[in-house]
Amino acid sequence: MKLAVVGVTGLVGRMILKVLEEHAFPVNQLFPVASPKSIGQMVRFHEKVFRVTDHLEAIREKPDIAIFSAGSCVSREWAPRYAEAGIRVIDNSSAWRMDPAVPLIVPEINAHILTPDHTIIANPNCSTIQLVLVLAPLHARYTVKRVVVSTYQSVSGTGARGVRQLENERKGIAGEMAYPHQIDLNLFPHGGAFQENGYTAEEMKLVDETRKILNDPTIMVSPTIVRVPVLVGHAEAVNIEFAGSCDIREVCSLLSDTPGVVIQDDVQHNLYPMPILAEGKDEVFVGRIRADDSRDHCINLFIVSDNLRKGAATNAVQIADYLRRHVLR
């Protein structure tokens, strides 16, 4: 197995290497790739040191899989060139997610649709991954009609710039602003550029990607993105309306049996999902599961996941592992 990691020096790129090690993903040859300013730097993987290289050198080496986490512009330019060379691309940006020819994959839900003909595979947005992992079993059982979701997204979702801004503000240091406002001791309903419909780009990702992954364009999604002064871990308050009645005990049972989902719901002992409990873990945590007393056929719940892991690196590595086991034969 020859593997390239594109954007290896970024927050998610470094996390991909960490997850590959932890999951014992079999890499015989690693090709770390980054922007021109990072070429020549050294990265460590499995107690070995590797030199960061450029795209052309990586393509010449013909890796089996290339995991991209370098932004949409890089992915749009380079993913097709890797694919043309016979390299499977797993892309963590938004560049290819809504392309009808590109599968959008959360392995626990829809990895089975992957075939040898798929040369570019899209990794969903971090907030979408944790949402659909909870919605999928409930949609299969009850049919989801409408989802109202408010996210509370950590600064690492913006990358190193967001983390630096928060850390600088906490230390009283003036520095580069990743956001239009102070984030320390603050929060604001803004993630991504505002669109003509009044929603942000990040909010529309939740709408479009949820429908594509669950293969149901009729699901209505009403999202609000909120950025919060947390380093790692995205949280979501979710209201779900079903086509008919549902049973809370069965909902809990369905979610307990869903791979990758962990229920944390013991309010008598103040146990519920929190970013501080999810950090460093691959699972999606769900709690505060309860009926919505204001509306029929509705429930409320709270979802938390480490956005750098399951929301990005872990999901990509899981896709790579599925390709290795079932497609690249």
185: left (phi over 0), alpha (psi -120 to 50) or beta: left
CA–CA separation, 151 and 149 (whole Å)? 6
The residue written with tokens 């109202």 in the block is: 148
Q: How far apart are CA 147 and CA 127, in angstroms?
A: 14
**C-alpha 193: how far from its chain's center?**
19
Q: Please, what is the end-to-end C-alpha distance for the chain in angstroms?
A: 11
Q: Active-site residue 73, yes or no?
A: no
Catalytic residue list contains 298:
no
Encoded tokens for 253: 């049972």
Q: Nearest-5° angle of CA 55, CA 59, CA 65?
A: 105
Helix and strand numbers (H, E) in the chain are: 10, 13
For residue 293, what is the DSSP state? T
Q: Which of 55, 118, 126, 246 is catalytic?
A: 126
In the chain, how long is the greatest CA-to-CA distance?
Answer: 60
**The two three-digit tokens of residue 194, written as one number:** 């505002």
* Closest to 299 (Cα-Cα) out of 288, 307, 310: 288
Exactly one of 55, 118, 234, 246 is catalytic; which is it?
234
Amino acid at 84: E
Question: What CA–CA distance (Å, rounded) separates 215 from 219?
Answer: 9
Which residues carry out catalysis? Answer: 126, 234
